[in-house]
Each structure stands twice: as C-alpha cells, then as structure tokens.
Amino acid sequence: MKEQLNERLTRTPFRPSADARADYETDGTTFLQYLARRAAKTVILEPLEQLLAVRRPGGPIPAAALVCFAYYAVAASTSYGRGYRQPSFSSERSATEKDRETSSVITARSVGARGDLAAEITAEVNGIGRFVGNERILGTTVGLRGLGMAAPSQFSFETARGRGAPLLAWRGEARGTVTTELAPSLRGTTVRAYGSLALSDDAGSTGKATLNREGLVSITVTDRSGGVYTLNAPLK
C-alpha cells in the first residue's frame, strides 16, 4: 500500500510566505526569539488531531502522524526567504512566543555551555501534545553557495496522555542535521536550508525526511506492516 498525503496534510491554514516569514522571524529578534518564532508554524500539526483520534473510523494512523510531525520538525528548524537579518546575541536564557495562528506557546531555552550555541525548543499544542526540539550549531562554514550553519538536531512529539484521552498515546522522533545557508543576492541576503532527518515512532514506523535548497520537503514513512506514506510539501 502506498498513500500520498500531499492533499491531506497541505490543506491546512499554513501557507509558506517566504520573504514575509523571514522578516517576521528575524527582524529585531535575539537568537532565542528567532528560534521561537521559527517554530511558530504549529498549524502544521493540527492534522494529528484526526490522524491519531482513538475513535477515528478505521483506527488511528501512526505512520501518517509521523509524516505530519516530520513536516513540522523540518519547518521549525529553518527559515526561507529574502530579508533575513542576523539575530542578535544576548545573555537571555529563554524566550517565549505565542503562535499567531494557533495560540500555541513556544519557548526556546539556551542549554549550551559558555560560548556553545545549543538550544531546546518546546511547543505546547493545545489538545494535541508537546513538541521538543534540541539543536546544536557547530559553527559557520564559507562556501561558493554562501555561509553555512550546520545544526545536528533531534526532535520529538508526544500526544497528551491520560484516562479517556481522545488521541492515541503516541511518540514520534526525528534525528539528523539541517544546514541553514545565508546566500547573498541582488535583492539582499536570502536564507535557505538543506538536510535530512531519520524518522521513527513507537508504533514501529520508520522513514526519512529530506529538504532541498529550493524549499521542498520530501517525506517517506513505512509502517510496521509495510504500508508506505509519502508527502511532498513546500516551505517557501
């Protein structure tokens, strides 16, 4: 079985806005504010409420939920568009942002030692669950395509639990490296990214998410019985 999820998962209120989005995420922000704003795309996670519903006809679909979570993990890990401004660095230890579309509360915390750029990002998604991301920026490289900042990362999402919970108790994980690039152009600095994440969940699903410089995310997940779920979705 192979199921395309392009229509199901991209017909949400989330619409990549590229240049305007990059401006919102970086204009006048500190590094931690930038990370929190970058993750303020939690509308991508809304399909989980249907995909993991205990009373869903046919039952929950954990593999499809892993695809949805992977799309968000990639989107929350980088920016796309012109108008990027370098966030400032300060002594703050945390920053909080409310997602303007879903009202989910996102917090970015510094977890690195002195001089080490590492952060934990959490998003509390009302009625669905909790996202946690950890990333460490290794440093800046200079190449023909611009400045690159590789960030080995791991992400997880866990549904809200408890007796009578409407959603399946589920946990998905993603691990890999996303490299953000700052590329000069005639219209100013453009931000983009590329990389891949290995995917897994506690229902036995596995897969991979790949992001290219053009802003396309390609995700393939195989469930424990061999069913394959795919998604190709834009980030810009």
* Residue 7, pLDDT score: 44
Kindly report, residue by residue over 96-113, the tens digit of the pLDDT: 999 988 999 999 999 977
Kindly report, residue by residue over 30-69, the tens digit of the pLDDT: 889 989 998 999 999 999 999 999 999 999 999 999 999 9
Boundaries of domain holding 69: 2-234
| Nearest partner of 201 among 38, 73, 105, judged by Cα | 73
* Residue 12, pLDDT score: 40
* Residue 145, pLDDT score: 67
DSSP string for residues in 190-225 = EEEEEEEEEEEETTS-EEEEEE-TTSEEEEEEE-TT
Q: Which of 86-90, 119-123, 143-147, 219-223 has the least mean pLDDT?
A: 143-147
Contact 47, 8 (CB under 8 A): yes
DSSP string for residues in 123-152 = EEETTTEEEEEEEE---EEEETTEEEEEEE
d(CA 213, CA 190): 11
R_g over Cα of the chain: 17
Instruction: Determine if the pTM surpasses 0.85.
Output: yes
Q: Mean pLDDT over all residues of the chain?
A: 85
Q: In total, how many domains does the chain have?
A: 1
* Residue 146, pLDDT score: 67
| Nearest partner of 145 among 213, 216, 77, judged by Cα | 213
**Confidence band (pLDDT; 50, 70, 90) for 117?**
confident
Examine the pLDDT at 9 and tell me if it is beyond 70.
Answer: no
Tokens for 161? 């639990």
Q: How many CB atoms lie within 10 A of CB 27?
A: 13
Kindly report, residue by residue over 130-175, the tens digit of the pLDDT: 999 999 988 776 666 667 788 999 999 999 877 667 999 999 999 9
* Residue 11, pLDDT score: 42
Q: What is the mean pLDDT of residues 3-21?
A: 52
* Residue 13, pLDDT score: 41
DSSP string for residues in 158-174 = EE--STT-SB---EEEE
Using CB atoms within 10 Å of the CB of residue 230, give its burial: 0 to 12 exposed, 13 to 18 middle, 19+ buried.
Answer: middle
Contact 86, 22 (CB under 8 A): no
